[in-house]
Amino acid sequence: MTTFSGGRHLPCARHLFDIPDAVAYFNTASLAPTLRTGLSAGEASLRNRAQPWKITSEGWFTAAERRRELFADVIGARADDIALISATSYGLATAAQNLTASPGQRVLVLADEYPSGIYTWWRFTERTGASMLTVQRRPGQTWTEAVLDVLDETVAVVSVPQVHWTDGSLLDLDAIAQAARAAGAALVIDASQSAGSIPLDMNTLRPDFLVTVGYKWLLGPFGLGYLYIAPAHHNGTPLEENWIVRQGAQDFARLVDYRQDYQPGARRFDMGQRTAFELTPMAIAALEQITTWTVPSIAATLSTTTGRIAAAAQGTRTDRSRPQRPAHRSVAAAAAGAWVSMRNRRPGRSRRARAWSMPYLEAGDA
């Protein structure tokens, strides 16, 4: 089982969330609970939005830039390298639009991965004439080993997660990034299942693109995501052309003096309506809390908690030949060294509390 060092063990933070004592919630891999500070920020932003005459021209920019800066710090990047987007599909589509491949080259993806990524690369191969290389792993083989076995000079794009969407396995991104650079392949990372809970450092990984939603481990609202874009791609083509990403957009009196040039860095790739008056304060509150905790400390604390679950579950019957209820699967998975969270359409009930579970896990070894 993977352990994380370099952070301090955090005290119980249950009081920071609106989670009743009778509920044990392990479903952050699907949808995070909202911080109480996020709820307060959201309520205040709705009241402010109800009186739009109080919103200044600076208000269209300042909070969005604060959100950009906070997320950049979480992943060890510069604010200029971050685009504010809506969803994983938006970020992956941006990456695909700004990459290329030739007939005979391949796009490497993992089996049983997030559908939006697969569909994006299907469209990419239709446009470029490249083909898909879907990596399967043999029994006893990690996803990292499976990727490294097939990553060669025919691969134009490597599109992988940090944590596998279906089974929760943790990939060694450092090893994959090094192999991708050696093969001359672009590296696209989907960090939606890990950003905010497992350390990431763009200075070390140096991917071409990294995308994540904001409503999982980043504890933010639905609809606000993030896209890291390496400086080499900053002059690329955005999915849309909106006014707020052009130079001089702060001067509302001159918006019809149309400009060819964009604001610096990755801002040209921002989604339309990035200001999100009602939601941005909630995202800021969440990112500020994560900054206070620090990601290494979050990872170390989760690792310790998962270890306690696994230790307590040792000896629990895990007969895979018989159907298991979701709560039973979560215990069995923890005993096998999994990383906490599981998914199922229906909640499973334990003896003492309700446990919302999922049939995949949030990051064991891979």
Q: What is the pLDDT of residues 91-143, one digit of tens each?
A: 999 999 999 999 999 999 999 999 999 999 999 999 999 999 999 999 999 99
pLDDT at position 34 is 97
For 22, counting Cβ atoms within 10 Å of its Cβ (0-12 exposed, 13-18 middle, 19+ buried), the class is: exposed
pLDDT at position 145 is 98
Distance CA 34, CA 221 (A): 8
Q: What is the pLDDT of residues 133-184, one digit of tens each?
A: 999 999 999 999 999 999 999 999 999 999 999 999 999 999 999 999 999 9
Q: How confident is the model at residue 312 (pLDDT cuts 50, 70, 90)?
A: confident
Average pLDDT over residues 52-80: 97
pLDDT at position 184 is 98
Distance CA 125, CA 7 (A): 42
Q: What is the mean pLDDT of the chain?
A: 88
pLDDT at position 310 is 81
CB-CB contact of 96 with 124 (8 Å): yes
Average pLDDT over residues 303-331: 62
Q: How confident is the model at residue 360 (pLDDT cuts 50, 70, 90)?
A: very low
Average pLDDT over residues 6-16: 91
Lowest mean pLDDT among 289-293, 344-348, 353-357: 353-357
Nearest CA-CA partner of 173 in 150, 155, 194 = 194
Nearest CA-CA partner of 65 in 280, 289, 285 = 280
Lowest mean pLDDT among 28-37, 259-268, 335-344, 348-357: 348-357
pLDDT at position 314 is 77
Q: What is the pLDDT of residues 184-196, one digit of tens each?
A: 999 999 999 999 9
pLDDT at position 1 is 52
pLDDT at position 5 is 64
Distance CA 242, CA 175 (A): 38
Q: How confident is the model at residue 63 (pLDDT cuts 50, 70, 90)?
A: very high
